[in-house]
Structure 1
Amino acid sequence: MANRPEARTNRFAVPGRPERLALPRRKTSQSGFALVAVIWTLGLITLLGMAVIVGARYRTKTSSNYAAVAAAEMAAESAVNLTIATALGATPDQGVNFPLRCRLPGGERATITVEEETGKIDLNTASPAALTRFFTALTGDQSRGTRIAAHVVEFRNPKAQAAPATKPAEARFTTVMQLDQIDGMSPRLFRTALRHVTVRSGRPEPDMDAASPATLRLLNVQPKQTPRKRGLPAGGSITIRADISAADGTRFIREALVSLESGNGRPFVIREWRRGDIDPSSARQQHPQGTARACLRVRDAAAS
């Protein structure tokens, strides 16, 4: 008789109760890993979404700042051109006095000043004493000011060539931007000196009556007791400085070197455009919102 496999019995079974089948154990470790992976994925997606949102806001703000600066720059150039048009159209009795504070059509507040080049230090013709006094005042160091002044004189008077020259040597300084080539001229000193120097005065000493208040303070010259506003000169070279403040706080300063009655058949010539710096030594006067006149009305009043 064939042997039959004996039925397996659970020796731990309780009599009178049905025997339960043994179920396989769940793989809890794999389930926990999947849950952690899902949580990390959701976190990374959230971080990426926040990064995209922040980047979009930053790019929008940057584009807005660029647009504001470009608008202020255009307003500054418009103010310079408006001043030139006012100078050409005004009569001596109807001239506009400067500094002029007015409002541009776009709502920008403009402070326009006119600086005569005769009131500045001419890099080509200033005497060594005037140069030394000027650079000493800028640096606050007598020895350093003397060295820089000597380098300026050496730069504008190059050594004579071996062959005799048939005509006088031309001035080495053709623009004030060449001052950056002088030994000992730091970037900060260069930016500070730009507003006080010129290459179109032709004077050994600056004309203190035509000097700006900033130049007078630098040279420690006392201004007149009752300083009067100056109008536009009939000729010569001037620097028109337009300081623009937009409603959103953007500020831009543009300077233009202009020669009036240039003698070549044109009433004026713009020699150079520069971006101006804020003068920290002088407090800029602010006017209430409703007191500034419109710049176009000022120009029309001067030309009428």
Structure 2
Amino acid sequence: MNSRGAALVLVLWLVALLTTTIAAFALTARVEHLQGRTMGDMAAGQELAHAGVDYALSRMRGTPGQPAWHADGRPYRWQFADHRITLRIIDETGKVDLNQASPVLLQGLLRAVGAEQARAQQLAGAIMDWRDNDDLKQPGGGAESSDYAAAGYPYGAKNARFDSIGELQRVLGMDAALYAQLAPHITVFGAAQPNPRFAQGPVLTAMGLDAAVLLAQREREDAAAAIGDTAGGAMTASGSGTYSVDSRVMLVGERQAVTRAVVRLNPEGSAGAPYTVLRWEQGAAAK
């Protein structure tokens, strides 16, 4: 009886072990299936977001039957392949150019996105010191190579133009949170003074303009047309031809596939692609 009892216990343990192994395998298979499905949905979403960029840019050249969209950041919605795609286009001349903006404009933008006065003054000076070709610190603040060394940085002030807005993250005093606030409003493809026709609220404020009044005026101009209407508002004068496009595709589970691009339209009738990519980012975001 003892041998039979021990054998029964052993069999029961083996059954339990096999059951656990099978359950673990089934769970792993399910997780891998869900992961594969999620990755597949995201890949498809990225292709749709890319299509959104192409469509948005096609709407920047108006025709009598299809007036141009506005490049001032207002949202447009496009239904494509059973997905809703939200598009925003901003002319790069509506942003603050890191290589051309004055210290006053830079400081105004920093203040407009929430930086305190002292920090805004220091960072505006540090941006100027990063791009100028001397080792003289800006009046009232700034950061030259000696300051980077004192702070333990393995590099100093660049003393040359910004090649991309991402480079701003290397400037002494900048942090991720403040950079995230600034990124939608800065460029290296703009002008010394932003064009208020295309500027967003913080840029308008930095320019000393009444952002609330100007933005309300834009809303009134667009009130007659539903967002995403084929008319897209009144026919607009052509912009600079260099635009940032934000394309977002709604996916299952409140997720979004996002493509952000900065592109320059090529002349109509020219051979090759209709636009040149200056910056391209893809990713995912929650709703």
**What's the TM-score once normalised by structure 2's chain length?**
0.72
- Displacement, 1:214? 6.7
Q: What's 1:7 paired with? A: none
- Displacement, 1:268? 3.7
- Displacement, 1:215? 5.0
Q: Is the 8 A contact 2:49 2:257 kept in 1?
A: yes
Paired residues, number = 241
Indicate yes or no: 2:213 matched with 1:206. no
- Displacement, 1:122? 0.8
Bigger mean CA offset, 76-85 vs 249-258:
249-258
Q: Is the 8 A contact 1:95 1:232 kept in 2?
A: no
Bigger mean CA offset, 233-242 vs 48-57:
233-242
- Displacement, 1:234? 4.3
SS at match of 1:133: helix
- Displacement, 1:207? 2.8
Corresponding letter in the other structure for 1:212: Q
Unmatched runs of 5 consecutive residues or more in structure 2: 136-157, 223-232
Corresponding letter in the other structure for 2:212: Q
Q: Take 1:201 and 1:54, find their aligned partners in 2: how far apart are those partners?
A: 53
Q: What's 1:222 paired with? A: 212
Indicate yes or no: 2:196 matched with 1:189. no
What are the equivalent positions in structure 2 for 1:274-285 lying under 5 Å apart? Answer: 274-275=281-282
Select the residue among 252, 277, 283 that pairs with 1:270.
277
Cα RMSD of the aligned pairs, angstroms, is: 3.2
Q: What's 1:302 paired with? A: none
SS at match of 1:206: coil
Q: Take 2:117 and 2:201, find their aligned partners in 1: how far apart are those partners?
A: 23
Q: Is the 8 A contact 1:237 1:259 kept in 2?
A: yes
Q: Take 2:42 and 2:260, find their aligned partners in 1: how far apart are those partners?
A: 16
Corresponding letter in the other structure for 1:39: L
Q: Is the 8 A contact 2:165 2:187 kept in 1?
A: yes
Select the residue among 51, 61, 69 that pairs with 1:78.
51
Corresponding letter in the other structure for 2:78: C
After superposition, the Cα gap between the structure-2 partners of 1:122 and 1:102, relative to the gap in structure 1 and judged at 3 Å, is: same
Give CA deviations for 1:53-96 in whole Å, capped at 9, x if unaligned: 111110000011101111111101111112223334x3367323
- Displacement, 1:159? 2.4
Q: What's 2:116 paired with? A: 141
Indicate yes or no: 2:67 matched with 1:95. yes
SS at match of 1:94: coil
What are the equivalent positions in structure 2 for 1:146-185 lying under 5 Å apart? Answer: 146-159=121-134, 172-185=161-174
Select the residue among 102, 105, 115 that pairs with 1:127.
102
After superposition, the Cα gap between the structure-2 partners of 1:120 and 1:151, relative to the gap in structure 1 and judged at 3 Å, is: same
Q: What's 1:25 paired with? A: none
Q: Is the 8 A contact 2:242 2:265 kept in 1?
A: yes
Q: Take 1:258 and 1:226, find their aligned partners in 2: how far apart are those partners?
A: 28
Corresponding letter in the other structure for 1:100: Y
| Structure (1 or 2) with the larger CA radius of gyration | 1
What are the equivalent positions in structure 2 for 1:225-240 lying under 5 Å apart? Answer: 225-227=216-218, 228-229=221-222, 231=236, 233-240=238-245
Q: Take 1:46 and 1:70, find their aligned partners in 2: how far apart are those partners?
A: 36
Q: Is the 8 A contact 1:235 1:261 kept in 2?
A: no
After superposition, the Cα gap between the structure-2 partners of 1:210 and 1:277, relative to the gap in structure 1 and judged at 3 Å, is: farther
Q: Is the 8 A contact 1:235 1:260 kept in 2?
A: no
Give CA deviations for 1:198-229 in whole Å, capped at 9, x if unaligned: 011122x4333311357558988323243134
Q: Is the 8 A contact 1:234 1:260 kept in 2?
A: no
Q: What's 1:15 paired with? A: none
Give CA deviations for 1:277-303 in whole Å, capped at 9, x if unaligned: 86x9xxx9xxxxxxxxxxxxxxxxxxx
After superposition, the Cα gap between the structure-2 partners of 1:218 and 1:109, relative to the gap in structure 1 and judged at 3 Å, is: farther
Bigger mean CA offset, 237-246 vs 212-221:
212-221
Identity of aligned residues (%): 24
**What's the TM-score once normalised by structure 1's chain length?**
0.68
- Displacement, 1:262? 6.7
- Displacement, 1:132? 1.6
SS at match of 1:41: helix
Q: Is the 8 A contact 1:156 1:171 kept in 2?
A: yes
